[in-house]
Structure 1
Amino acid sequence: MLSRRELGGGLAAGTVFRRRGSEHPAPPPEPAKEPNLARILRTRKLRVGGSLNEEPYFYKNSGNGQWSGILVAMAGDLAAALGVELAILETNWAETVTELNSGKLDLAYGPSPTAKRAMFADFSTPLFHDTYAMLARKGFAPKSWAELNVPESLVGVDTGSAREEAVRRFAGNAAITGFKTREEALLAVQSGRVDCFVATVLSAVAALKKNPQIGELVVPTPQLRAAVCPAVPYDDDRRFRGVVDAWGEDNRGIGQIRNWIMAGLAKLGIAPSDLPPDISF
């Protein structure tokens, strides 16, 4: 057992040690979180999330690494309005909200807003609406989502995507098979291993233009629409959210959003006549 003298000496030594340690300078305090707009203007860079193989929204040229697509054109115009450089950072729909919340991205265009996602990302007003549809094997053409939502329907999905989420939401009773990529799921439709692949009209017509043998475009009723909304990280300042809102309102009002959509489709050889007649943006 320690004597009082030994115990007192130990405490004194500890006191001396702490006193000496306190002589070292304290680490600097963490800087206050920089508002989104201030950071973008300071770095002169707008970081936008881009997903691979998501034509006509996003496309990355494997040869030169350049990005193109409808949403790339829109993001580029916003960056130009801010007087900064556009930087497309590769991501995927499943990670987008997380990367916004962590500060890795300044802006993203998907997935569509939900109450749960809005807890972690600040969604702006929709730029436009795409419409849910399906790429179906020949001979499979359900007229409604209710007809698809039965155990006899074989639906292929790319696991972890916004499309899988849509299928489980609108046709959860169907027999759903997951594939690693969208391309694998589309090949399953073409070979007849599954009946269909749920997508949106714009991505479906792009896939069919690339490979008409996949199947046929079917737009079930009622028409279900997917909002294409810019999303930004939350901050107390919210000026960047205001800039995005104003930019979107301006370009919707003058018809420029539709112009970017049609120009992006035209680059893939898709004419207005290739779109379903009752589809609007």
Structure 2
Amino acid sequence: MTTFSRWLPVLVLLLLVGLGTAGAAPDHVAASRLDSVRQRGELTACSTGDYRPFTYLDPATGQWTGIDIDLAADLAKRLGVRLTLVRTTWATLPEDIGRRCDLAVGGVSVTLDRAARAFFSQPYLRDGKTPITRCENVQRFQTLAQVDQPGVRVVVNPGGTNEQFARQNLHRATIVPHADNNTIFEELVAGRADLMITDATETRWQAKQHPQLCAVHPDQPFTFAEKAYLLPRGDVVWQQYVDQWLHLARNDGTYDRIAQPWLG
């Protein structure tokens, strides 16, 4: 008997075992936040509550409103769980993902700094930084060079991309921090600041709420940016589920139905 003949039964057995297990599901699948959300019956979403029209927490009533609040509620509904909203700040947002909540919503801009510490969903809105000012000053602040002049007061909300943009690009203008993003536009109305540079979507919405204020070229912002949802780093299964939900919502009419009352 040749050497090959002696080993042939063993090779056949190994081949049969391989064929029998190739299509079998693994005994253990790595746990994902998708599983834990369903098991506990709750989706926790962090949000700052201070960035309309995306997110707003009414201090008098405790009621949350906004585009992303409604979208998070739709995600929870499709998961078959309840939605719990958790107040966070722009400065602590990346650290709160995974520690205090399953995702973060509320006009979160995609940045490389955040992407280094957490996952992003696919983007759902294109945006960019542009000024908002009193209407009589629109022509005065058309360019960054016009904004970055001695005596110009630029109000910023600390900890987010608005402050980062201002400090990176403005060196002669005066940057005026204002901690409460819910009242920051009153500083412009009252004349205590000359302008704010924020996302074009917010400038359009705030101009509707304050007739004295006008968005400066919101269709041609200074920068390119996108909005997305922030997710815990490393959980690809959860990221893919949220991406698939967002893809369906943007194409089955859900996103348009929710965004229309806010964005028009």
TM-score (normalised: structure 1): 0.73
Cα gap change, 1:115 to 1:160, in 2 (>3 Å): closer
- What's the counterpart of residue 262 of structure 2? 264
Give the AA of the match of 1:126. Answer: P
- What's the counterpart of residue 225 of structure 2? 226
Give yes or no for contact 2:49–2:64 (8 Å, CA) kept in 1: no
Q: Offset at 1:228?
A: 1.0
Tell me the SS of whatever aligns to 1:94: coil
Give yes or no for contact 2:51–2:181 (8 Å, CA) kept in 1: no
Q: Are residue 204 (structure 1) and residue 200 (structure 2) matched?
A: no
Aligned counterparts of 1:59 and 1:183: Cα–Cα separation in 2: 8
- What's the counterpart of residue 38 of structure 1? 35
Runs of 5+ unmatched residues, structure 1:
1-32, 266-271, 273-281
Aligned counterparts of 1:87 and 1:125: Cα–Cα separation in 2: 22
Aligned counterparts of 1:252 and 1:146: Cα–Cα separation in 2: 38
Q: Offset at 1:230?
A: 1.0
Runs of 5+ unmatched residues, structure 2:
1-29
Cα gap change, 1:188 to 1:67, in 2 (>3 Å): closer
Give yes or no for contact 1:106–1:233 (8 Å, CA) kept in 2: yes
**Which deviations, in whole Å up to 9, do the C-alpha atoms of 1:133-179 show, x marking residues without a partner?**
22212432222334323445321112223321232234454321112
Give yes or no for contact 1:144–1:222 (8 Å, CA) kept in 2: no
Give the AA of the match of 1:210. Answer: Q
Aligned counterparts of 1:164 and 1:104: Cα–Cα separation in 2: 25
**Which deviations, in whole Å up to 9, do the C-alpha atoms of 1:49-99 show, x marking residues without a partner?**
122232211122445433221001111111111111111111122211110
Give the AA of the match of 1:37. Answer: L
- What's the counterpart of residue 130 of structure 1? 127
Aligned sequence identity (%): 26
Tell me the SS of whatever aligns to 2:54: coil
Q: Offset at 1:35?
A: 2.5
- What's the counterpart of residue 53 of structure 1? 50
Q: Offset at 1:217?
A: 1.6
- What's the counterpart of residue 251 of structure 2? 253
Aligned counterparts of 1:260 and 1:165: Cα–Cα separation in 2: 30
Q: Offset at 1:125?
A: 1.1
Give yes or no for contact 1:163–1:198 (8 Å, CA) kept in 2: yes
Q: Are residue 154 (structure 1) and residue 153 (structure 2) matched?
A: yes
| Aligned residues between the structures | 231
RMSD: 2.4
Q: Offset at 1:38?
A: 1.6
- What's the counterpart of residue 4 of structure 1? none
Cα gap change, 1:185 to 1:56, in 2 (>3 Å): closer
- What's the counterpart of residue 180 of structure 1? 179
Cα gap change, 1:192 to 1:64, in 2 (>3 Å): closer
Q: Are residue 90 (structure 1) and residue 87 (structure 2) matched?
A: yes
- What's the counterpart of residue 118 of structure 2? 121
- What's the counterpart of residue 7 of structure 1? none
Give yes or no for contact 2:121–2:228 (8 Å, CA) kept in 1: yes
Give yes or no for contact 1:127–1:257 (8 Å, CA) kept in 2: no
Aligned counterparts of 1:175 and 1:61: Cα–Cα separation in 2: 30
- What's the counterpart of residue 78 of structure 2? 81
